[in-house]
Every structure is written in structure tokens, then in C-alpha cells.
């Protein structure tokens, strides 16, 4: 399940984001090649894991890169984390596709727009670079109990709201919220400890 190559791509991103974002902002076509070479596989893997259809995944990844290209002017080259931003957009596209396919489209465009704003991805690499994320995330997930693992899986791969998870798992919403918070707390703590080490 672990994907060291993907994490490596994220880690490396901090070293090159500033230069690459600047080239994208100057509309250098070769910058798009470099952006794809750096994050294309990662974005495709995330999208494919969610939509489980290679053809649809291609379309959504293409849409992701076009969105990054169109919104790059809002990115702060000195502070932003290009990889996490791009992956978040890719995942949002995939979750939206799955949800619209199953008639669960209830997120409004405004909220999605806010969640993809580059300002939310600044200073991220300071916390993530120079750490072995593959090992950390694997170890962190192993520390979750089965219920916590399940809610993280439903959240990340299906984008179910906590109310929907409660229905799916036959549990009170409060219990689901507790599991989600606890799971994210463990992951955050493990990542924080690694960054501090």
C-alpha cells in the first residue's frame, strides 16, 4: 500500500517548487513538462485509487494540471508547496467525480474553491522535508485501530462525510467524529515527531 516514490516526490518538491512555480507563472511551456514529470505519477496514482478507472483517471489528471496552470498566479513561489497543492486538487477532482456519479454531489463550488486555495499550502515543506514520510505514514497508520483505519480509508478514498460514514458503519455520528479526530491526531503526532527529530 505504501508508495515511497510518491513521498519522495513530495519531499523533493520543496527544493524545486520556487523555481518551477516561477517558470509556470512566466508561462514557460517546458515548466508543464517538469511539473508533470515531478508529480504526474503521484496525481495519477491518487486519482486512480479513488475512481478505479484508468480512462477517467487520465481525464481528471489532465483537468488537475490545467487547473494548476490556470491558478498558478495565486501561488507564492517562496512559500507554497506545489506537490501537496496539486495532489489536493487531483484528489478533489476524483472525489467529486465519484460523488457526482453516485448522486452524492453536495459540496458547493465555493467550498471546493476555498479548499484548493494555494494560501492553504504555504510553509508546508518546512514540516515535511527531510523526513522519511513513507516509513512514517506506514508506521502511523499501523498505530490506528481498525475503526480509525476504516474512517481514514472512507475519508481519503471515498470522501464520505462523517454523517455518511455513520450511516455506512451503523454508528452514531459522534462516535465517527471521535474516531476521525483520534486517527488524525495520531497521524499528526507521528508526522510532527518525525519533523522535530
Partner 1 sequence: MTCEELRGEYGAWALGIADEPERSEIAAHLARECPECTAGVRSAMVTAAALSGAVTEGNPPRRLRRRIVSMVERKPKRSFAWLPWAVSAALAIALVSIAIPGRRDTQALLTQQQDMTKLKQALSILNDPAARDVTFGDPAALGRVFVSSTGVVLIAAHLPKIQDNQTFELWLLPGSGDPKPAGTFRGETISNSSSAVYVYQGSTATAVAVAVTVEPEGGSPQPTTTPFIVSKL
Give the nearest distance from C-beta 36 to partner 1 in angstroms.
5
The single residue among 20, 21, 61, 82 that binds partner 1, judged by CB under 8 A, is 61
The single residue among 12, 16, 18, 41 that binds partner 1, judged by CB under 8 A, is 41
Does 92 interact with partner 1 (rule: CB under 8 A)?
yes
Show Cβ contacts of residue 92 under 8 Å, excluding neighbours closer than 6 positions. 112, 115, 116
Number of residues that this document lists for the chain: 197
Listed in sequence order, the DSSP H helices in 102-132 are: 109-115, 124-128
Of residues 131-160, those binding partner 1 (CB under 8 A): 133-134, 136-138, 141, 152, 155-156, 159-160
Record the cell numbers describing residue 194, joined without a space.
518525525
| Cβ closest to partner 1, residue 19 vs residue 33 | 33
Does 188 interact with partner 1 (rule: CB under 8 A)?
yes
| Cβ closest to partner 1, residue 30 vs residue 103 | 30
Site size toward partner 1 (CB under 8 A) is: 78
Q: Which long-range contacts (CB under 8 A, 24 or more apart) does 190-194 make?
A: 190/136, 190/137, 190/139, 190/140, 190/143, 191/127, 191/128, 191/131, 191/133, 191/136, 191/137, 191/140, 192/127, 194/131, 194/132, 194/133, 194/136
The single residue among 15, 19, 58, 172 that binds partner 1, judged by CB under 8 A, is 58
DSSP state letter for 8: H
Does 102 interact with partner 1 (rule: CB under 8 A)?
no
Does 165 interact with partner 1 (rule: CB under 8 A)?
yes
Does 38 interact with partner 1 (rule: CB under 8 A)?
no
Amino acid at each position: 500500500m505504501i508508495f515511497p516514490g510518491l513521498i519522495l516526490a513530495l519531499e523533493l518538491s520543496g527544493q524545486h517548487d520556487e523555481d518551477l512555480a516561477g517558470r509556470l507563472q512566466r508561462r514557460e511551456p517546458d515548466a508543464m513538462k517538469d511539473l508533470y514529470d515531478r508529480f504526474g505519477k503521484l496525481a495519477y496514482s491518487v486519482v486512480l485509487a479513488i475512481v478505479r478507472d484508468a480512462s477517467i483517471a487520465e481525464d481528471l489528471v489532465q483537468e488537475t494540471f490545467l487547473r494548476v496552470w490556470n491558478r498558478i498566479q495565486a501561488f507564492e513561489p517562496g512559500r507554497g508547496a506545489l506537490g501537496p497543492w496539486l495532489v489536493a486538487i487531483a484528489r478533489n477532482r476524483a472525489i467529486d467525480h465519484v460523488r457526482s456519479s453516485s448522486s452524492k454531489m453536495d459540496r458547493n463550488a465555493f467550498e471546493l474553491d476555498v479548499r484548493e486555495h494555494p494560501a492553504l499550502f504555504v510553509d508546508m515543506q518546512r514540516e515535511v522535508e527531510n523526513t522519511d514520510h513513507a516509513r512514517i505514514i506506514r508506521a502511523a497508520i499501523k498505530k490506528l485501530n481498525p475503526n480509525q483505519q476504516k474512517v481514514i480509508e472512507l475519508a481519503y478514498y471515498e470522501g464520505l462525510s462523517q454523517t455518511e460514514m455513520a450511516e455506512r458503519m451503523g454508528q452514531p455520528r459522534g462516535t465517527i467524529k471521535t474516531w476521525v479526530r483520534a486517527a488524525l491526531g495520531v497521524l499528526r503526532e507521528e508526522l510532527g515527531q518525525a519533523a522535530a527529530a
